[in-house]
Amino acid sequence: MAIGIGIGLGRFPLDRGPDYFKWIAQCEAGGIDSIWQTDRLISKEPNLETLSTMAALAGATEKIRFGMNVASIALRDPLLTAKQCATIDFLSGGRLLPAFGIGSALSRDYSATGTPTKGRGKKADEALHLLQQLWTKDEVSFEGEYFQYDRASISPKPANPRLPLWIGGTSQAAIERTARVGTGWLAGIDTPSHTKTVVAGIKAALPKYKRTIDEDHYGATFSFRFGSVDEPIAQQSIKGLQARLKQDPVDYLAIGSAEDVSRRLKEFIDAGCSKFVLIPIAEGTRDLLNQTERLIQEVLPRFD
């Protein structure tokens, strides 16, 4: 399997907005496989809106692919989302990697807006079906519980006639959703052992839908830092994950040397993954550029 090491951002760690494009240029020149943006609408921390970021990347890059890790489709209108994705893919010459999930029921994106979480799985299923139909069909009519379309169509279509549809999530419903409609699966922050279980679950579910997913279309995500766990920025990340997970987050991070980051990658490869979104633990433009350069120089050559 071809190993692809991409890089992504959750919170925005750079000093200024325009610094983002310096970082993007560094990634493209350095051979990073792809760029990813976490989707979080409501946050006190700076966090880029994912589809706007995809549009900016379409114009700021020439070769590198880019995607969402992952966009909460149950919070988005499928017609608008299909049109946005098609436009971005068309303008970038087919480099968009759309990835969707339903988002956590505990997310502030739901609770702060009074958006019901009940039924969000069914709503997401209808939306994902509509995305695929709108990207490939001349007209789409649909009568669902949440959406009703009468001969809807979009143009231009995506430049990539087989625009991928990566699915996120680790629940049984997410496993079934991936097996039913996904062309790939991308984990959120998780452990190699649990990721292995989910990959196996998806593969076991695929025959039920008479479908296949390419062996190199399973992906993993983890945070990394070249440095010491005693650094304030590392401690901040560790404590944040510990509060969120209610457990020791050591298996969710790779902090240390190039050997430590590479070892974690190999653990995920052994779990069945070959595509990766690595999230730098960094603060400020200089720190992010340094962390990225070390990834390019010290880790990428080991997985050529």
pLDDT digits (tens, 9 = 90+) for 134-150: 999 999 999 999 999 99
pLDDT at residue 104, as a whole number? 78
Strand bridging mode 148-152 / 140-143: antiparallel
pLDDT at residue 106, as a whole number? 72
Q: Estimate to the nearest angstrom the gap between the alpha carbon of 72 and the chain centroid.
A: 10
Other C-beta atoms lying within 10 Å of the C-beta of residue 33: 19
User: Shortest CA distance to 285 belongs to which of 8, 15, 9, 12?
Assistant: 15
pLDDT digits (tens, 9 = 90+) for 73-121: 999 999 999 999 999 999 999 999 999 999 877 789 999 999 889 999 9
- DSSP letter for each residue of 73-128: GGGS-HHHHHHHHHHHHHHHTS-EE-EEE---TT-HHHHTTT---TTHHHHHHHHH
Cα–Cα distance measured from residue 82 to residue 65, given in angstroms and rounded to the nearest whole number: 18
CATH of domain 4-303: 3.20.20.30
Tokens of 15: 């000093």
Whole-model pTM: value is 0.94
159 class by beta-carbon count within 10 Å (0-12 exposed, 13-18 middle, 19+ buried): middle
Cα–Cα distance measured from residue 275 to residue 185, given in angstroms and rounded to the nearest whole number: 10
User: Shortest CA distance to 181 belongs to which of 277, 78, 94?
Assistant: 78
pLDDT digits (tens, 9 = 90+) for 273-303: 999 999 999 999 999 999 999 999 999 999 9
